[in-house]
Structure 1
Amino acid sequence: MGQDVDRRTFSRRDRQQYRAKVQSCLEALTEMLRSHPFARDEPMTGIEVELNLVDDALAPSLSGKAVLEAIGASEFQSELGRWNMELNLPPRPLPGDQWRHLEHQLLDELAVAGAKARDCGSRLAVIGILPTLRRADLVLDSLSPDERYRVLNEQMLGQRGEPIRLDITGDDPSGRHDLAPDRLSADFDSIAPEAACTSMQLHLQVHPDEFGGYWNAAQCIAGVQLAVGANSPFLLGARLWAETRIPLFEQSCDVRTPELRNQGVRPRVWFGERWITSILDLFEENSRYFPALMPVTEDTDPHADLSAGRVPDLDELKLHNGTIWRWNRPVYDIANGEPHVRLENRVLPAGPTAVDMVANALFFYGLLRALTDAERPLWSTMSFEAVEENFTTAARHGLEGPLYWPGSGWIRPDELVLRKLLPQAAEGLARFGVTAPVIDRYLSVIEQRCALRRTGASWQVDAVAALEARGADRQRALRGMLDRYLESSEANAPVHTWALPG
């Protein structure tokens, strides 16, 4: 949720007016989808990476504002926690060797930010959850001073009416790792736990006529993305899920009381509940199911804009959409005076390296195109409930949990990727016009990760287990693991090549 908010209190009338304005925006968007031209450029992509800052002891460094000022570049923005910031790379086409250049740009931007962070006594950590976080870090004073985050905190806690409850139990049914899973149960008086989640967000601009198919395909592969890209096994010293970021984000943003959850009220961090045919299905669900968190209305009339030949901003619809955190989210925006829609994929964690993140991204884009172009859509042979179960299973177990896939039944994710999905992803990237050397470079990273069964999450767990076996307690083992993680991450060596502590 990046739009600025300059108010901290809202009246009953504000909420009533905002609801009406969201509906007006939705009606205007409906009219635009019927008769207004939308962008049809070559496939445009975007990437956002959320970052952590640590101090010399590898604990969170609340230096985000100082580091951002030292960097002084618009590509870097503040995030919810004072130890966070976000890198937004400019949109770029998908075809050709553009994403090879993107890896270089990502490395350059991280190097510049890393140097400025060191000048401020900090260090960058590109990881799904900072493993050295402590309870004392997840407090109101750790939130960024930006007004929108303070308003968001007040409104979410106000709707919930009680502390944020985290209750996450780890599980390792395979017994492959030497480190036993733990349970975390704790209450928090702010939304600061949300700041512990640092992700990589992928954008793909598509024409509105094609959006439904792309969103359905993205839902289908969300579980596979998590299994192959998991990088968040630790939170507050506890070994939990392979991608603990998923339940952490769901619970830290949950404004429902237990009674409302029992009634079936939808959560604001939402996988969804059905296949769609149009982007309107998602925006209509937003307006139907979710009350406003920040009911700020602008002095504009989207219907008047359309009548005057102007492209409406739809500010209220965009603000409302920004406070509903779907794992695959619709986006409406305007660029160079032309409206467009994008699919925003929010499934993946940040890290471990630039090459790993680009590999994760291209695997997603390629598989997305292959599934969308298929003669028989995968979602016509797969229930939505099965897709959601895959998502949760992969978040819990990473490569260890079998997923359901039509034509393969229950199959381990690494086998599914190696046998079936990598060739489809390569075909999809080729259809997008990506060059063969780029396809080979990045999909080989996914191939080796699956062949060796080594993700960021599994490396972290095994590294901590090795350090504890040598006599370190959990906190020292986490710091030792993170120190090795940062060294390998900065070297841009793919995570499947990382050695464990000897």
Structure 2
Amino acid sequence: MGEEIGSDHFTQDDFREFGERLARETTLIRKLQDEGGLSDVGPVIGLELEAWLIDHNFFPAPHNQSFLARLGSEMVVAELSRFNIEINTPVEEIAGEGLARMHASISETMRQCASNAHDDVDTVIAIGTLPTLRETDMSLEMMTPSNRYAALNREAMRSRGGAPIVFDIDCCTGAGEDFTTSYQDVMAEAATTSLQLHLQLAADRMRAAYNASLLLSAPLVAISANSPLLFGKPLWHETRIPVFEQALAQPSPHQRVTFGSGYASLDLVEIFEENLELYPVMLPVCADAPDSDFKCLKLHNGTLWRWVRPLVGKSSDGKPHIRIEQRVMPAGPSVLDMMANAAFYFGVVEELAEYIDAATAEVPFEAARANFYAAARHGLGAEIEWFGKNRRRSVVSVLDDLLPMAERGLRRQGMAEHLIDKYLSTIAMRLASKQNGAAWQLAHLERHGDVHRLTADYLAHQKSGLPVHEWAI
């Protein structure tokens, strides 16, 4: 959930000073955008993978501090809860073998994490929500010791006037009951882990790619769904979506976890301007750095979790850039599945961005948002509104149409042909079998009725490296 901060207690002067710097930095990024001062480096890709630490009984193992100390890797860091970690990969170009190098990096880091087992942690598992997770695991005692997390929790609850966070998630699988409860902190967010993809293109291409990413969110959720259970109960095919949104719910109409307020009309700086205008500052920590480093803008943006989020960084040419973080997909099931999801996304965005204005004219933002939640609820069984001759379609038929688009997009970006075939054939087979991670988990639970056996079998399959469409139930 972001970089550490130096303090977790703030004064009114802290908020005032931060607000002034945030306004200056927002003005500066607007100036750079308008005057052509942003980087034209790209396409460049990155990846973050959140994962779980588990014990010998397949329960969460809340020992990321000792685990990370033993591991000693700069590429693996702590997450909100003591039983979650985040794995990062080096930035790559998409051309040639870039995605294969990213694949190898994730596989090797996962192997190192598994070999880092000890009495306190048995192994690591990549899955949207751990089936054996218990409500008792969602407590402040499980929070990773961090000024940032402590301050986020305090400020989020302060903005609610201390009112409890109410969860109300309906069961969409036909195999359970609705889930309702309440919490006095934000720790339920720790029930969700994701695969986060980063995409940087030349500055003049980012608006189209961002809007294409929003439109694609529903098909991406449907094909990748892998979080059907919460505390062992079947709810949505991608239950991670409502859990994350409700865990950080605010009384304001402007939610901090959101699909957003609309397509970008001119550029992505609009979103940072919306951040400044609509969202109160939560972490007013001003780093000793020039405005051109955008420290305050980054920190404020880091307390807003749009499902498709713009990020600011610095490129290899020394210029600032704005890149896209696509956050809709869960962790897992296998590394091959996740790399296939990445290839599919990068390819389709490249192709769809070429005519995105025509597509979004037929699928307004409100429809794209409704599509997203329909796909989260029903996975590959969803129906969505799409562009073209048949406006109301099954998400499976949309995905069928997107596969050749992904192939063309990857080819145009110069990805090696054997990788295009490897990754997109994995998506095609998953689509043909209609067995994504969520479908496998739900079928396994229905047959065996045991979340511990489910988790054990899932972990064995994940370690085998086989894609989920080949997993036996």
TM value normalised by structure 2? 0.96
Per-residue displacement from partner, 1:386-425 (whole Å, max 9, x unpaired)? 100100000000011111111232221122212x110011
Residue 31, structure 1, aligned to residue 31, structure 2: yes
Specify the code of the residue in structure 2 equivalent to 1:338.
Answer: K
Compute the displacement of 1:15 (Å).
1.9
- Report SS of the residue matched to 1:434: coil
Compute the displacement of 1:17 (Å).
2.4
Picking from 183, 191, 194, the partner of 1:188 is: 183
Unaligned runs of 5+ in 1: 303-311, 469-476
- Report SS of the residue matched to 1:62: coil
Compute the displacement of 1:380 (Å).
2.3
- 2:275 match: 286
- 1:444 match: 425
Specify the code of the residue in structure 1 equivalent to 2:394.
Answer: R
- CA contact under 8 A between 1:139 and 1:189: conserved in structure 2? no
Per-residue displacement from partner, 1:4-55 (whole Å, max 9, x unpaired)? 2122222223222222221111111111123353332341100000010111
Structure-1 separation of matches of 2:326 and 2:22 = 23
Residue 224, structure 1, aligned to residue 219, structure 2: yes
User: Superposition pairs for residues 97-496 of structure 1, below 5 Å?
Assistant: 97-118=97-118, 120-160=120-160, 161-172=162-173, 180-256=175-251, 260=252, 265-276=253-264, 277-302=266-291, 312-336=292-316, 337-374=318-355, 377-407=358-388, 408-418=390-400, 420-468=401-449, 477-496=450-469
- 1:309 match: none
Compute the displacement of 1:119 (Å).
6.2
User: Superposition pairs for residues 57-72 of structure 1, below 5 Å?
Assistant: 57-72=57-72
Structure-1 separation of matches of 2:398 and 2:201 = 27
TM value normalised by structure 1? 0.91
- CA contact under 8 A between 2:340 and 2:423: conserved in structure 1? yes
Per-residue displacement from partner, 1:450-487 (whole Å, max 9, x unpaired)? 1111010010000011003xxxxxxxx01110100000
Compute the displacement of 1:67 (Å).
1.1
Compute the displacement of 1:272 (Å).
1.2
Name whichever of 268-277 and 6-15 sits farther off.
6-15
Structure-1 separation of matches of 2:221 and 2:239 = 11
- CA contact under 8 A between 1:106 and 1:354: conserved in structure 2? yes
- CA contact under 8 A between 1:128 and 1:349: conserved in structure 2? yes
Distance 1:136 1:411, change over 3 A: same
Structure-2 separation of matches of 1:50 and 1:366 = 23
The number of aligned residues is: 469
- 2:16 match: 16
Distance 1:291 1:42, change over 3 A: closer
Compute the displacement of 1:154 (Å).
1.1
Specify the code of the residue in structure 2 equivalent to 1:275.
Answer: Y
- 1:94 match: 94
Structure-1 separation of matches of 2:217 and 2:419 = 23
Specify the code of the residue in structure 2 equivalent to 1:253.
Answer: L
- Report SS of the residue matched to 1:388: helix
When the two chains are superposed, the root-mean-square deviation of aligned CA atoms in Å is 1.5
Compute the displacement of 1:301 (Å).
4.9
- Report SS of the residue matched to 1:117: coil
- Report SS of the residue matched to 1:361: helix
- Report SS of the residue matched to 1:90: coil
Per-residue displacement from partner, 1:241-275 (whole Å, max 9, x unpaired)? 0000000000001132xxx4xxxx21001111222
Runs of 4+ in 1 over 4 A off after TM superposition: none
Compute the displacement of 1:448 (Å).
0.8
- Report SS of the residue matched to 2:45: strand
Specify the code of the residue in structure 2 equivalent to 1:486.
Answer: L
- CA contact under 8 A between 2:90 and 2:102: conserved in structure 1? no
Specify the code of the residue in structure 1 equivalent to 2:455.
Answer: L
- Report SS of the residue matched to 1:459: helix
Structure-1 separation of matches of 2:3 and 2:27 = 22
- 1:307 match: none
- Report SS of the residue matched to 1:330: strand
Specify the code of the residue in structure 1 equivalent to 2:362.
Answer: T
Compute the displacement of 1:105 (Å).
2.1
- CA contact under 8 A between 2:197 and 2:326: conserved in structure 1? yes
